[in-house]
Homo-oligomer: A and B are copies of this chain.
Amino acid sequence: MFVSRKISESTVRRLSHYLRSLEGFPDIGGTVSSEELAARGQTTAAQVRKDLSHFGSFGKRGLGYSVDQLRDRLRSILGVDRSWRVALVGAGRIGLALFEYPAFRSRGYDCVAIFDSDPEKIGQAWADQVVRSPDEFEKVINELDVELVILALPADGAQEMAMRAVDAGVQGILNFAPIRLNVPPEVPVEDVNLVMELEALSFQITQGEQDA
């Protein structure tokens, strides 16, 4: 019934999926069943109900869940019923792609500062932002009250910038650099490692062939 601490990683991923599905319903006032939600995700109705039950019971037996209500509840559970101030560190190729990706801003992740160590890039205008020197990092993080940092810089600078971000009071890190960051356990880090995703594919293909 109540938030019993320790929600599993996979549950959180599924909650994101449910929210994404619900945002597909432009429908006002409708309802959705755990069965329907399961079909759109890639899971079972029982799993959907169990996932949601960790946070309370907001369905109606015989009817399902109110789309509007469930969507709001999921937004609040996932912390996207507000906006987050994000800084981008590394104004390279992946940094640019992320910066220009509209889905971030539309979900409430607001890029309020960009840093790069390359003197050629410092001072460049990116939309409403100017690329800043890492020398200003702590000052800017504090002044703008940055909560999240996206690390899109080469691996050799990532650990240092992660530490500086934590020391400056940043609350979470999305890391694209292919290294395991060492940060205090209370600061969550999510790693994105695309080589690993490709390896997962080639693993599955290779294994599959061994069966045949």
Q: Is A143 positioned at the interface, with any CB of B under 8 Å from its CB?
A: no
Q: Which residue of B lies closest to A206 (CB)?
A: B79
Q: Find A104's partner among B107, B195, B205 (CB 8 Å cutoff).
A: B195
Q: Is A135 positioned at the interface, with any CB of B under 8 Å from its CB?
A: no
Assembled-state Cα–Cα distance A5/B212 (Å):
12
Given contacts A13-B196, A201-B190, contact A96 B93 (CB under 8 A): yes
The SS class assigned to the A binding surface is helix
Are A196 and B96 neighbours in the complex by a CB distance under 8 Å?
no
Are B148 and A198 neighbours in the complex by a CB distance under 8 Å?
yes
A interface residues, tally (CB under 8 Å): 60
Interface string of A155-198 (1 = CB under 8 A from B): 00000000000000001111000101000001010101111111
Q: How far is the CB of A56 from chain B (nearest CB, A)?
A: 13
Are B211 and A188 neighbours in the complex by a CB distance under 8 Å?
no
- Interface on A for B, CB 8 Å cutoff? 3, 5, 7, 9, 12-13, 15-17, 19-20, 40-42, 77-80, 84, 93-94, 96-98, 100-101, 103-104, 107, 109, 147-148, 171-174, 178, 180, 186, 188, 190, 192-208, 210-211
Can you name 16 extra interface pairs (CB under 8 A) apart from A13-B196, A84-B198, A101-B194?
A7-B207, A13-B200, A20-B178, A40-B180, A42-B180, A77-B206, A79-B199, A93-B100, A98-B194, A103-B194, A172-B201, A174-B194, A174-B201, A188-B201, A188-B205, A190-B200
